[in-house]
Amino acid sequence: MRTISESRCFGGVQGVHAHASAATGTEMTFGLYLPPAAAEGQRVPLLWFLSGLTCTHENAMVKAGLQAHAAAAGLAVVFPDTSPRGPGVADDPAFDLGQGAGFYVNAARDPWAPHFRMWDYVADELPRVLAANFPVDEERQAVTGHSMGGHGALTLAMRLPGRFRSASAFAPIANPTASDWGRRQFAAYLGPDEAAWARHDASLLMAETGFSGEVLIDQGASDQFLPLLRPEALAAAMAERRQPGAFRMQAGYDHSYFFVASFAADHVAFHAERLAA
């Protein structure tokens, strides 16, 4: 692993790091915010923030405003990249497939299969890198994300029971098997078998198993991508299962990072309370 940069931030340190990834066969870059408590020798709880389409590790790190809230709560925050990158990595002219659009799945079809193994990277490899190199507490983890990253956060939380104490999402792609933000990508990455797609659909997983902890979902009521996100499917599944948590429609908010930043404090406080329990 190599450190690209470290910057003082709200009494802690915002770092950017890179490492050779066995999962993707590329170098992967991630951001990691460590709060002041980490510098004092404490092992701190870890909040994952998974970003959306077109994003790198940098977008949420710079725009979401999580560091001030994380510093006050004593949480580390990791910002993984959204896909493998590099000259030998397959890509597509569309913004919603290929580099910047890994969808947090393991691709099974060419040309994507050699590098697009983002499920393995986020679920297995990056956690080991963090635990080996930084003072984070593996027993206290939570996960959140925006848009495609909200999809990733919810599916990871429900498919890895016991890993995360809490889960939240900002405007998640909630029902990708029934959306053009999902069907096209799953067909390309996973193939035509829709049974394989279902394992990456938060609404279907919510109906089948739910999440053992509490969830918090914020969705902008003026989001320009509502037909692609299909929040009503997730809200219905949560209600049917009586999933502990809350689904909040926020009047006037769109899909941007201004929306994410507006409710970042709520999400950090939600996770901090459960990570402290």
Catalytic residue among 21, 147, 179, 203: 147
Measure the CA–CA gap between 9 and 102, rounded to whole angstroms: 29
Catalytic residue among 166, 223, 267, 271: 223
CA angle at residue 150 from 146 to 156, to 5 degrees? 145
Using DSSP, state whether 89 is helix, strand or coil.
coil
Which residue, 99, 102, 98, is CA-closest to 122? 102
Alpha-carbon dihedral sign for residues 120, 121, 127, 131: positive
CA 65 to chain centre: 16
Measure the CA–CA gap between 274 and 277, rounded to whole angstroms: 5
166 given a catalytic annotation: no
Q: Which pairs from 191-198 meet CB under 8 Å and 24+ separation?
A: 191/108, 191/109, 196/108
255 given a catalytic annotation: yes
Which residue, 29, 30, 31, 34, is CA-closest to 13? 34
Region class of 210: left (phi > 0), else alpha (psi between -120 and 50), else beta: left
Measure the CA–CA gap between 240 and 145, rounded to whole angstroms: 23
Catalytic residue among 17, 69, 151, 255: 255
147 given a catalytic annotation: yes
Measure the CA–CA gap between 224 and 265, rounded to whole angstroms: 23
Q: What is the CA radius of gyration of the chain?
A: 17
What tokens were used for 153? Answer: 């956060």
* CB contact at 8 A, 203 and 175: yes
Q: Which residues are catalytic?
A: 147, 223, 255
